[in-house]
Structure 1
């Protein structure tokens, strides 16, 4: 619709009436169809009809401009993360619900390699994890510490561990999707939240990153809901595995 209108104006300015007329008819027909779809549900008052007619002319170029601006924005090179934060379960290690046994800790494929490379490159890394099993009485603080120690034994040291042990109804400010874990991790690592990238497997990770002003990368698993993946495709980044996620965070898909 917008291109038809622009072509009509351009041909008219070039004193080419025939193509200007064809382009103008195309623009008018598409605009009328758009307006009709918006008018039919009603109400059909004179004021509403006038409003629909005017806005049906304005919306297509506004929408096209918004789309083009978004295309330019998402294709700009993203600055490399100054620190990377990881969710724990189903991101760094396979999820064992309410795990209180260090012997059940199993890293996901590629975790050891990407962490080794990040440390070699001098990029601070941290873990931000919800562990409501403590509040529910399913995990003791000592068992949680033992499991986290096993993660470090297998994957190396992290610059910070930020863990929320509260349940959903506790009203804390740290449980993802709230930003507390991310902002505290950034402070502990000596960077701003906006300089961090949080890599996780569910929508709460992406929402926590956004709430803190950080960027998020979703690495879906079979447990990740389709709606969470779709939302991440619109507002964040989606990666096929941990290595690709780190590559996106560092501005290099081939990381």
Structure 2
């Protein structure tokens, strides 16, 4: 299905060709590649090949997103993975929020992935799950984007959230949550101590349920949900680069 809305400026997918180690970078629910571009650029500067796909229905208009399914979002990330596989021997995956959910999905589905870096990944958001069970919901709810501690930064995200899309992310979270035990690759899990979108307990649950022997849970003390654009951005960049370097050699 052709998307009828133009892609917003700043929401375009990004690709950087570098060495034979690839980093797949995924943005979150109702968000855009803008939230992950600083990480992508930092990884490219370090020499890596980087792909930041735009999830279908995102970065255009919320009516566009309303027509997509979680399978569409999986396919968007898988197409980025295919692009990297054509160029790289080793691939890592990272993502924010639902991008973190998709990161977990990729590790569950493609055991050859070398390592993952979920950032405030979503596997259980009770407010979303309960909302989908209510009768007579409006077609759209308030926006969830731009949960950022730094007042000078704004996330490029939709101003409304389609209820149909909430139902899709709830199904995706259920699917991923049930298969966490399938993950065996090294994992660096970032969690903001204060997050107004995804309960921080999600990351603790991920840490406990994945089967990886090498895993670390890193607390972010100075960022809200969109930590990749917040005060802890450099910490995420530095620790993830160290993670990639450490495990690409194993």
Fold conserved between structures, TM > 0.5: no
For the pair shown, which has the larger CA radius of gyration, 1 or 2? 1
Q: TM-score normalised to the size of structure 1?
A: 0.38
Q: TM-score normalised to the size of structure 2?
A: 0.38
Which of structures 1 and 2 has the larger relative contact order (alpha carbons within 8 angstroms, sep 6+)? Answer: 2
More strand by share: 2
